[in-house]
Amino acid sequence: MARLSENNVSSSRSSALPMCYNAHMRTITLKGGSEMPVIGLGTSQLKGEDGARAISEAIEVGYRAIDTAEDYGNHDAVAAAMNESAVPREEFFLTTKIPRVGLSRESVLERTKRYLHELQTEYVDLLLIHWPNRAIPIAETLGAMEELRAAGAIRAIGVSNFTERHLEEALSTGVSVSVNQVEVHPSFNQKKLVSYCGEKNIVVTAYAPLGRGKDLQEPLIAELAKKYGVSVPQVILNWIVSRGLTTIPKSSSRAHMEDNLKALTWAMDPSDIAAIDALPQGERIFNPPTAEFD
């Protein structure tokens, strides 16, 4: 089973983050032994000089997990921020993703070589299939990713936006899938999928954890924020991590980045976690025409 490490993380509800608090101090162990920070930085829309500046600030604050993708068009900004920091490469957990149009063996190998060049690194910690594409055999895609792992170009293999059916097909290939990155927030908690992934020792990473701001308006969460003396986003992120998930909230604001990390400094009562679990469920926010949610 995935193992959660809480080295040097305070459980006090009132504790404040020290300067340059390291989010990588609290990690979850993936198949194969990689340590993945439970809170990372989502970088969608963080591009160019402004994007690099925001990512640099996240690193200064203490983020060590950085999530990017070919579709984000910001590998250069990520590389610039990482290179300008004083943080050794081995302390970062870098994730990128292959688009659904690039899942043939030849494309996976070629694109990953390009990613390493763009990111100015010898390896990525986690390579994901961004969206499933049944037009290309999953065995072909995962086989190519396994080649990359054997060659040391990637450390772990994962997927994104996969349903149980997609995961069953992926696992039938025999390739070890470590992560499934999917939309998760209080009004779309993916309880069944999270349970399935837990049974298969697949770590779930929650993207859009705040429901694009919608879930920040939930009265129960506001009440809990008042109870614990924390922000509403902290309540949501704490709830996600308490479920054994990792998450990648997106922000370009240093204040928000710092606040998000404070979600790791206090503990929520199990009854309150259960109350958020029981909130009414809505629809997906992200459901593009090419999605294969079935």
Among 21, 63, 72, 228, the active-site one is 72
In angstroms, rounded to a whole number, what is the distance separating the alpha carbons of residues 207 and 236? Answer: 12
Per the structure block, which two tokens stand in for 260? 């998000």
In angstroms, rounded to a whole number, what is the distance separating the alpha carbons of residues 102 and 111? Answer: 8
Per the structure block, which two tokens stand in for 141? 């895609």
Listed in sequence order, the DSSP H helices in the chain are: 48-61, 75-84, 105-119, 138-151, 164-171, 191-199, 219-228, 232-242, 254-261, 270-277
72 is catalytic: yes
The DSSP H or E segment spanning 207 is: strand 203-207
The long-range contacts involving 8-14, CB below 8 angstroms and separated by at least 24 positions, are 9/264, 9/265, 10/265, 10/266, 11/265, 11/266, 11/267, 12/265, 12/266, 13/228, 13/229, 13/230, 13/265, 13/266, 13/267, 14/229, 14/266
In angstroms, rounded to a whole number, what is the distance separating the alpha carbons of residues 102 and 266? Answer: 42
Residue 230 has phi, psi (to 5 degrees) of -130, 175
To the question of whether residue 75 is assigned a binding role by annotation, the answer is: no
What residue numbers does the annotated binding site cover?
A: 130
- For the annotated catalytic residues, the residue numbers are 72
What residue numbers does the annotated binding site for substrate cover?
A: 130
